[in-house]
Structure 1
Amino acid sequence: MNKTILALLFLFMFQVSRAGNELTPGQVEAYDLVLRLRFVDARKLLKQEGKAKEDHIVPYLEHYIQFLSILISEDEKVFKSCSAGKETILRQLEAGNAGSPWHLYSQAMFNMQWAFARLKFGEYTTAAVEMNRAYHLLMRNNDLYPGFAPNRAALGLMKVLIGSVPDNYQWITRLLALHGSVSEGINDLKLITEAVSTDTNYPFLKAETLFMLTFITFNLSGAEADRAITGRLIDMNHEMIQRSPLLVYAAAVFHMHYGENETALDYLEKRPVGASYYPFHYLDYLTGLAKLNRLDEDAGIWFLRYVNAYKGGSFIKSAYQRLGWIALLRGDTKGYYDYMFRVKHAGRTLIDGDKQALAEAESGRPPDVRLLRARLLFDGGYYKQAGDLLSVLTPDDFNYPKEKLEYIYRKARVYHLKGQEPMAISTYLKVIDAGGTGPWYFAANSALNLGLIYEQKGDFRQAEYYYRKCLALKYAEYKSSISQKARAGLNRLEKK
């Protein structure tokens, strides 16, 4: 799970924390406005609430707006501006009612938010200190108030995140004695979610748990039942989702992950827009992806909008890579290399997608157009069209080892998602045999998918073998996200 997703998950847990604390009607409305990214309107209400009642909810919500602005914008100026007032808000929270379950909890969430804000800007050491502080505040609060639902939900989410920490950051969890697994955390969150429908004390919890479950489902759960439950919840809350750019983001990413490109595009095209909403440029990037997956002619417009408007560093290289692909699909090789030049010099490489874009640019070799077109159609869920393109090709049609291997891999993916399981298994095995020692991600993702297939079949021994095989392979592309899913698979098997 990338850092944007992790931070937004904690953002929503933050909002849950205050929902049952006898909010005034104005505070309830302010929460709704913040969730919909209508920050100017929310601040007006908070200003009125601050005059009418002296409490710590108002400054906390004001900080919430700042925090959300950091996450969405990745603007270093916003980050530094918010950092300047950090200690003042923290002192206000520490001066609150020590006999309330919200006292330690709000401080824990405050530290958690800052930990993830710092991760955006590479301040890993300070983020680790704040993460540790948040964890132990939650544990203390749980000892004092074991029935306090927001705290239990926060600890559940903490367990998910601790259990999904990438290999290269596992040393942090060991050093700080942070304990938790993905399976434990998901189970805790499910228990909390089941209580939401009958608990009227938390009016915002429906949206927040839906947001969390959306990302946890496709990043960490291999169960088809979990996917079905989350998808049904999204469908049931369509109207609520369309009012919030954040929930549109969650719904669109969920549907894109499962190859439901048309549904994702419908959410994105109908999202709320206008001057009253805080700019969420990443939705332009997602719209570009969805249109490119459908091979639409106007896909490039959305990537250009993103790179020209967004001040952060994430997905910039990936957007330029997509613009290069669009040029390549049009037969414009020079245009492709022009965009690859920009990939090398713009944006950052904190996420797998940007790392892969940079690796392609530095290789100096464009992807094969036939495989690229099949890949895009597959990513959009257009499996028949992708399969038809691949069916007229053979490995001998390609000159380079990577392309030959990718061809076999693409066929395996089509077999898998079309439900042709025996063919998928045998073809995934061919990919592993041919590419297990190569630097590309095809063999690792094939092993991951074999693990998922055998887990669904109930053959846990084989599933464990392939999850461990996935983690043992040496490669660079998409390693963080693939390894995370393999570890999540092993965590699920431990429970089973």
Structure 2
Amino acid sequence: MENNPGSFLSWSSMRSSCLWMPLALGVWLMAFSMAQAKFTFNTNCQQAYQDIMSLRLNAAKERLEQEKRTLPENDFIPLLENYYDYIYLLCTDDKPLFERAKKSKGERLNRLAAGDKDSPYYLWAQAEVNLQWALLRGRYGEYLNSALEIKRTNALLKESIDQYPDFLPSQKAYGMVQAVLGALPSGAQKALGTLGVRGNATKGKEMLENAVKGLSGSVFYDETVFYLAQVYMNITNEQHGYERIESLCKQIDSQSLLKTYILAQYATKSGHGARAISILQSKPSGRAYIAYPYLTYLFAIAKMNRLDSEAKKIFLQFINENKQRSFTKDAYLRLAWISVIEGDKAAYEKYTQLVKTKGYSFEERDKQALNEIADAAPNADLLKARLLYDGGDLQGAKNCLLRLDPNKMPLQRDKIEFCYRYGRIFQDAGSMANALKFYKSAIDLGSDSPYYYAANAALLSGNIYEQQKNYEQAILFYQKAIDMKNHPYESSIEHKAKEGISRLKGIK
């Protein structure tokens, strides 16, 4: 199912990079850890890690303070403090706090660099700190520093794996770095390539799949499942990926708010709308957890994708909780859409103005919200079809399209989208011949348009032909997707099309 074809796993939007030692590595590793003077991953530190991973950040803070009182020389303290700041900033999107917190990075790395060089934690810990700040800097547009930190991360992890090939925390982190680097737009990949940093999404996915198996039952397991879910959902678009991740999540504690996030996010994006609502309604709560408005946002989207009137109230609740930060613009756009469905032109104008003036514009969805309000208001039935499709109601979406006659649509944009939406519905229903027919119409009508419909229709046509082993046609349509320029999600669509051509080069 589709919310948008862009990748969640860009520098601006990856949600976590969690760290802790797998108990599955065995008693020898714990004994080794305890014998070292500075890297002591004791029970308190492990629980602090688990609290951070579960988004029980208030509880984690208390454990960190306890560790500083009882074992101040423990070099897991600066690592855990950095991790705490990283997750807190991702959950709160507090840019002023980001400006203050980044001053601690150098001091923490200096302490880690002075630690026990013979410990398997030594290189890995420094890599994790660099990776976290690379992702945070990229989120706020500090791309040069972000690239340099990614270069350091990559080098540290490669060295760590060379020295300790069976140390799974480094395998987990390196797998995620490989996947993310491999999914970057070609321009960013070339720029990082000049720094000696290259990625491979397939290799990263395989490393993470192996790490999930090796870390089963360990404190690192939750993080690795999270990473794999992001890769399946946003990079490789795994068939039946949601079902696979749902099965893996059974091992995760039901009181983990990260588990709620993993399942709700994937369910919302993959058309399991009813499941997403159920997950979010039963999410854990209490004083131990940090406020996480993004889950309210997901709940509102899941409700909206069922055309539930309660969505409006939940979006307004999110805006109030979120304090005008990321996804606020998108929330106002969706309130404007609700106004279109309700036929309230005055409310539509009010909310589109708020898209312009409220919230950040770091996230792809917020940028796209600004693009959408610059165009004419959407067609109400097309909009309903889009939302119902995203919620997994294919028949409901089709019924909306049946009420429309594309020949009577005044806007070329709507004619292109009509064909594109029908193509998506037929593809998901397994009617590939009809899907290809409507995708071709979308391409013919929209190849020179500023909308993503035609380019994504070409990409999806390539996917269908590839599945049918018609590799010549697959390559032809992948190239069509690449050739279409100046539309939203251009980098993401182009990357996926190039990966498709690369896969087929050795087969054709």
Decide: shared fold, TM above 0.5. Answer: yes
Give yes or no for the alignment of 1:51 onto 2:69: yes
Larger deviation: 205-214 or 437-446? 205-214
1:232 to 242, 247, 254: 247
Give yes or no for the alignment of 1:408 onto 2:435: no
CA deviation string 1:454-478 (max 9, x = no partner): 2333334433332232122113223
Larger deviation: 20-29 or 210-219? 20-29
Query: For residue 226 of structure 2, what is the amino acid of its counterpart?
Result: F
2:131 to 100, 112, 115: 112
Q: CA deviation at 1:492?
A: 4.7
**Structure 2 counterpart of 1:386:** 397
C-alpha contact (below 8 Å) 2:272/2:391 kept by paired residues: yes
Query: For residue 431 of structure 2, what is the amino acid of its counterpart?
Result: Q
CA deviation string 1:53-78 (max 9, x = no partner): 33111231122111111122221222
Give yes or no for the alignment of 1:259 onto 2:278: no
Give yes or no for the alignment of 1:456 onto 2:457: no
CA deviation string 1:163-203 (max 9, x = no partner): 11123423421221212211121122222223234xx6xx2
Query: For residue 167 of structure 2, what is the amino acid of its counterpart?
Result: F
Identity of aligned residues (%): 33
Q: CA deviation at 1:267?
A: 0.9
Query: For residue 211 of structure 1, what is the amino acid of its counterpart?
Result: F
Q: CA deviation at 1:335?
A: 0.4
**Structure 2 counterpart of 1:25:** 43
- Measure the CA separation in 1 of the matches of 2:204 and 2:316: 39
Query: For residue 30 of structure 1, what is the amino acid of its counterpart?
Result: A
Query: For residue 113 of structure 1, what is the amino acid of its counterpart?
Result: Q
Query: For residue 351 of structure 2, what is the amino acid of its counterpart?
Result: Y
1:97 to 72, 96, 116: 116
- Measure the CA separation in 2 of the matches of 1:17 and 1:131: 24
RMSD value, Cα: 2.3
Unpaired runs of 5+ residues, structure 2, are: 1-6, 31-40
- Mapping for residues 26-425 of structure 1, pairs under 5 Å: 26-53=44-71, 54-197=73-216, 203-224=218-239, 226-234=241-249, 236-237=250-251, 240=252, 242-311=254-323, 313-363=325-375, 365-425=376-436
CA deviation string 1:301-352 (max 9, x = no partner): 2211222222464212111100111112111101001110111122233333
CA deviation string 1:71-122 (max 9, x = no partner): 2222122212212222221121111101112111111111111111111211
TM-score, normalised relative to structure 1: 0.92
CA deviation string 1:21-61 (max 9, x = no partner): 63322222222211222222212222223333331112311
Query: For residue 28 of structure 1, what is the amino acid of its counterpart?
Result: Q
**Structure 2 counterpart of 1:11:** 17
C-alpha contact (below 8 Å) 2:53/2:223 kept by paired residues: no
Q: 1:4–1:27: structure 2 CA closer, same or farther, 3 Å change rule?
A: farther
CA deviation string 1:384-418 (max 9, x = no partner): 01111212322123111111111111111111111
- Aligned residue-pair number: 487
Q: 1:134–1:88: structure 2 CA closer, same or farther, 3 Å change rule?
A: same
Larger deviation: 443-452 or 146-155? 146-155
Query: For residue 68 of structure 2, what is the amino acid of its counterpart?
Result: G
**Structure 2 counterpart of 1:482:** 493
Query: For residue 385 of structure 1, what is the amino acid of its counterpart?
Result: G
Report the secondary structure of 2:202's partner residue.
helix
**Structure 1 counterpart of 2:35:** none
- Measure the CA separation in 2 of the matches of 1:123 and 1:193: 32
C-alpha contact (below 8 Å) 1:6/1:161 kept by paired residues: no
- Measure the CA separation in 2 of the matches of 1:128 and 1:5: 10
**Structure 2 counterpart of 1:2:** 8
CA deviation string 1:128-164 (max 9, x = no partner): 1111111111122222223322222222222111111
Query: For residue 257 of structure 1, what is the amino acid of its counterpart?
Result: K
- Measure the CA separation in 1 of the matches of 2:264 and 2:349: 30
Bigger share in helix: 1
Give yes or no for the alignment of 1:446 onto 2:457: yes
- Measure the CA separation in 2 of the matches of 1:451 and 1:312: 40
Q: CA deviation at 1:266?
A: 0.9
Q: 1:437–1:254: structure 2 CA closer, same or farther, 3 Å change rule?
A: same
**Structure 1 counterpart of 2:37:** none
- Measure the CA separation in 2 of the matches of 1:142 and 1:495: 30
Query: For residue 90 of structure 1, what is the amino acid of its counterpart?
Result: L
- Measure the CA separation in 1 of the matches of 2:451 and 2:431: 25
Q: 1:320–1:393: structure 2 CA closer, same or farther, 3 Å change rule?
A: same
Q: 1:125–1:6: structure 2 CA closer, same or farther, 3 Å change rule?
A: closer
CA deviation string 1:280-308 (max 9, x = no partner): 11111111111111111110122112222
Unpaired runs of 5+ residues, structure 1, are: none
C-alpha contact (below 8 Å) 2:151/2:197 kept by paired residues: yes
2:441 to 417, 430, 439: 430
TM-score, normalised relative to structure 2: 0.90
